[in-house]
């Protein structure tokens, strides 16, 4: 009796799988998700920058980074995808100059010295040009023999006073950049 029950159950199970398969149901494609990529993924001097850290110190929101290396110079430019300006440029160059040479040859006329930024540092505001607004620049000689410069180029129409405020924010950003990581 058990054998017949087993045989009948097996037959039912085997024939149940022979039915026509249901047509597949079309499922709408999922929306592509935006993945935030860090500036460091661009290499070069961008390895020293992070979009969130830039935003924290300057208030500027950037999401695109490009790097270039030529000889001992490493450069990174960050921008917002939808706007050409403002842009932030970091340049780091290996150097053998000392603080007196920095003062004589690198320190721009009219720049303000910045304390507690490398061996020696400055901040400087540049006037607007025909294509851009005023620019802010911070430069310093790091302890490991590197000359670094951060430059914020503003959109057309930005006043020099506004760029001077940005220069102060760039000083704070410069203080967290560790040029030894290159």
Which of the four pLDDT bands, split at 50, 70 and 90, describes residue 18? low
Tens digit of pLDDT for each residue in 110-140?
999 999 999 999 999 999 998 999 999 999 9
**How much of the chain exceeds pLDDT 70, in percent?**
85
pLDDT over 80 at 23, yes or no: no
CA separation, residue 58 to residues 13, 31, 43, 152, 167 (Å): 70, 32, 22, 10, 9
- Look up the pTM and report it: 0.80
Checking if the pLDDT of 36 tops 70, the result is no
Residue 6's pLDDT band (cuts 50, 70, 90): low
- Give the pLDDT band of residue 25 (cuts 50, 70, 90): confident
Give per-residue pLDDT as tens, 47-103.
999 999 999 999 999 999 999 999 999 999 999 998 889 999 999 999 999 999 999
pLDDT higher than threshold 80 for residue 105: yes
pLDDT (0 to 100) of residue 12: 56
Q: How far is CA 113 from CA 42, 81, 118, 138, 179, in A?
A: 31, 33, 12, 10, 20
CA torsion through residues 39, 122, 58, 156, sign: negative
- Mean residue pLDDT across the chain: 88
| pLDDT band at 13; cut points 50, 70, 90 | low
């Amino acid at each position: 009796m058990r054998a017949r029950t087993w045989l009948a159950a097996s037959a039912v199970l085997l024939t149940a799988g022979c039915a026509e398969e249901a047509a597949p149901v079309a499922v709408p494609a999922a929306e592509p998700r935006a993945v935030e990529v860090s500036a460091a993924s661009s290499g070069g001097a961008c390895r020293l920058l992070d979009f969130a850290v830039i935003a924290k110190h300057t208030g500027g929101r950037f999401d695109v980074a490009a790097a270039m290396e030529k000889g001992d110079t490493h450069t990174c430019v960050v921008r917002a995808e939808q706007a050409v300006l403002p842009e932030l440029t970091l340049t780091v160059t290996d150097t053998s100059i000392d603080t007196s040479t920095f003062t004589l040859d690198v320190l721009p006329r009219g720049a303000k010295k910045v304390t507690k930024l490398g061996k020696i540092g400055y901040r400087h505001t540049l006037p607007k040009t025909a294509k851009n607004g005023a620019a802010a620049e911070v430069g310093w000689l790091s302890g490991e023999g590197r000359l670094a410069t951060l430059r914020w180029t503003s959109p057309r129409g930005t006043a020099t006073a506004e760029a001077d405020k940005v220069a102060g924010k760039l000083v704070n950003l410069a203080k967290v950049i560790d040029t030894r990581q290159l």
